Chains A and B, each alone.
Chain A
Amino acid sequence: MNIFKKTILTVLASLFVIGNVYADKIKIGTEGAYPPWNSKDASGNLIGFEVELAQELCAIMKHECTIVEQDWDGMIPALLMRKFDAIMAGMSITAERQKTITFSQGYADEVASLAVMKGSSLEGMDTPEGINLSLGGSDVNKALKTLTGALAGKTVCTQTGTIHQNFLESGDVGSVNVRTYKTQDEVNLDLTSGRCDVALAAAVAFTDYADKSGEAVTLVGPTFSGGAFGNGVGVGIRQGGDDAIGKRDAKLLKDFNKAIDKARKKGIISKLAIKHFGFDASM
């Protein structure tokens, strides 16, 4: 009977230990399904630009960190429920998200692009190479008009809860038929199967997939930045408060900002970006 009681107490105690956020170990949440930002290798270990950057930042902060996996659609709720303390998951800094959480300064930025299968009627669209929605102007308006015409009646696929979905639903390119997926992998699968006429994501997500799978996925139209596409990718952190956890969160934000400054000066971010993206996506 005594052993029975002990076991129950141990199990109960361990439950509380797992839920303890006061331990001085920073937990960082990432998706593990958005290469080359973050992904998993064949044996299930988290790899990618942000995983390595997180380790570098923690080394600079002299803090022990653990990186945990979380599905994209539950990322912000999980942060708010204190399952981890920071998000590093290719999450762009947007006004919409800033209503709920706060962000460190951006550490990297990457343009978005549409992609189709080779031979699509959308190939050879007459648009500038890249448009910045924050700048506006006649060039941008003209490009958006061209896109509105090209995308009409097409099924456009994208990952759910992303800047890409926000853009497609913003009305900038008319009312398009948007289909949303849980992960970028699923978007890629349905683009190759032909269920999607065209897909929208970070340009590098498509080129990375085309490289690895050998599928004839090709980028079309302009690259997008600014506006609905946010202001770069930063570390997502809970908004601080007056209680102990709130103060800790506010300090964490400061620490991350300082660490990003240092990592940038030392050239660590550029080096990692070139390693994973093939070009310098740091900011």
Chain B
Amino acid sequence: MDFDLMIISFPKLLGATVVTLKLLSASLFFGLFLGLLFAILRLNKNIFINKFAYGYSYVFRGTPLLVQIFIIYFGLGQIEYLRSTFLWIILKEPYWCAIIAFTFNTGAYTSEILRSAFQTIKPGIIEAGKSLGISNKIIFYKIQIPIAIRQSLPAYGNEIILMMKGTSLASTVTLMDLTGVAKYIISTTFKPIEVFIVAGGIYLFMTFIIHNVIKYLEKKYSFQQ
């Protein structure tokens, strides 16, 4: 074991963690909106809208994240027509390709988490709102959405952790995230064990933080207050 290498590589890896966190927060931010949108579409009674939303989540949950990121990065890059459109400004950058792939992926899982949360809301609660003369819109925004978010916290916390680990795939499209820099250090030192142990430790620490934040939120918004 080369402890000196572990100490030297630690600050470099910590710097790369910033890229990982940026990727994670951007995809979670966009993914949450996408997930909420598709969860609402899933609850729609129109069969076409419903099936469309189901199809989206089915495709993105049914294929590996690595394949999705490759299709978006290398696949779309091969379409000549696309390269002449304004879309290429975004797709040219590996950073945005990664965020797009991560957003669609986490969006699919989030939509399923939120949909099941919506469906667990007891009809009595909505009926109580209606009997008080509250409009459907307000019931949805002020009663259903807050309850659904609270209900989905434990599952969503899991999704955040999965996504955090998923960002390591950004290194496959040339991004210098935590895994990317770890691989870079290995390519000059040829010592994978030491470097990956430090990188793994940083991932573990991030999981620890996310886990505890979610636990705190769960307690704070607990129904048993």
A residues lining the B interface (CB < 8 Å) = 73-74, 76-77, 80, 96, 100, 160-161, 165, 179-182, 186, 189-190, 192-195
Contact = CB atoms under 8 A, between A and B. Distances in A.
Contact of B183 (A160, A179, A190): A160
A80 B190 contact: yes
Given A160-B184, A179-B94, A193-B74, 16 more contacts: A73-B186, A76-B190, A77-B192, A100-B190, A165-B187, A179-B174, A182-B172, A186-B74, A189-B74, A189-B77, A189-B78, A190-B74, A190-B77, A193-B77, A193-B83, A194-B92
Contacts of B191: 77
A77 B186 contact: yes
B225 interface: no
26 contacts: A73-B186, A76-B190, A77-B190, A80-B190, A96-B188, A160-B183, A161-B187, A165-B187, A179-B94, A179-B174, A180-B174, A180-B184, A182-B172, A186-B74, A189-B77, A190-B74, A190-B77, A193-B74, A193-B77, A193-B78, A193-B83, A194-B77, A194-B83, A194-B88, A195-B77, A195-B92
Interface in B32-83: 74, 77-78, 83
Interface of B: 74, 77-78, 83, 88, 92, 94, 172, 174, 183-184, 186-188, 190-192
Contacts of B172: 182
Q: Among the interface residues B92, B190, B191, which one has the most CB atoms of the partner chain A within 10 A?
A: B190
B12 to A, nearest CB: 14
Q: Among the interface residues A80, A190, A192, A195, which one has the most CB atoms of the partner chain B within 10 A?
A: A195
B105 to A, nearest CB: 21
A181 B187 CA distance: 12
Nearest to B92: A195
Nearest to A181: B174
A192 B190 CA distance: 31
B36 to A, nearest CB: 33
A188 to B, nearest CB: 11
